[in-house]
Amino acid sequence: MKSPLPIRDGVAPSYLWLQPGAWPQLLAFLSERFPDVASATWLDRMARGEVVDGDGVRLQPDSRYRPGIRIFYYREIEDETPIPFQEQILYRDAHILVIDKPHFLPVIPGGRFLHETLLVRLKKKLQLPDLTPIHRLDRETAGVIIFSHNAASRGAYQSLFQKRAVHKVYQALAPALDGRAFPFTYRSRMVDGTPFFRMQEEQGEPNSETRIDLIERRGALCLYQLQPVTGRKHQLRVHLAALGIPIVNDPFYPDLQPCKADDMSQPLQLLARAIAFIDPISGQQRSFESERTLLYKSGTNKVRTGFPPLQGASALASADRFAGGQHADRIPCSTPAPLPEGEGENGGPENQAFSEPNQ
């Protein structure tokens, strides 16, 4: 179903299905459903005509509560924290957009971030209303992420992740792991943890797998190459923490750290370094590499990749590709907050487009 409200300043409208209930009027329901949103805010939105039903009919404070209908509105956040780091375009064609994401820019709206998210920034800058990420990266993680901006071909690219036909390479800075021969494969069973945004391991049949190799050692720290075979939420972070080598500056693992609010001085040292696949439309080999580096200096003041360039990467250089450099990004508080309104990012189908969890 197409939204009766247009995209506004890069933000698609949220929606909410009205469930069975005894509320006499719509305003009473909204005030109870969203206690963090003042009734005066809903009154102002309704006065502007920005709360409507599926047919685009403006809803009023005294509109009858009608279970089974879907209402649309725009999320609004006051005093949103600016993220002072910029994304870079690596590649664009008629179907996909490939971005080099900085630490700690959220991919999609949620919690206390709306306009300061990668999706909304790109929609505003590039005027691509159908833009949708086809996989995720945590706010804490920098590196390569792929978007679809062509609804007709989106399913073909999503299926690559569902079929595990995408080769992904990450880099992480963590303590040295002694007593292991590299490379090796780590497997474990991962389940939801506590609080809700963390994961944990338990006994049982493994459902997560990561290939781990050593790139370079400098004192007590090492640069690792990580290749996730599966795509569980926080998989790389959980696996390294379980091995006793948590990723530098990880606020969640092995122990949850106090929220640092807007302190951007300690970015998680995890980078989505490269991604490769056979393009489902053209049949060509596609490969993309991040131009960012972790806060780790070798003799050249840059991290050695430790693996050969992915086939075809140099052929993808174009006018859309920016010259990179070292990005000592700084990040805000990384503890996520439940969404204060709606059913997700925009409350719409973009949330359902993801085909794998975030790293």
Residues annotated as catalytic are 138
Q: What is the DSSP letter of 310?
A: P
**Distance, CA of 142 to CA of 131 (rounded, Å):** 20
User: SS3 for 206?
Assistant: coil
β-strand partners of 350: none
Going by the DSSP 8-state scheme, the letter that residue 102 receives in this structure is P
Distances (CA, A) of 192 to 34, 208, 247, 310: 26, 13, 20, 34
Contact, 276 vs 257, CB < 8 A? no
C-alpha separations of 116 from 8, 87, 133, 320, 341 in Å: 14, 11, 16, 22, 17
Residue 239 has what DSSP assignment?
H
Burial 199-211 (b: 16+ CB within 10 A, else e): bbbeeeeeebbbe
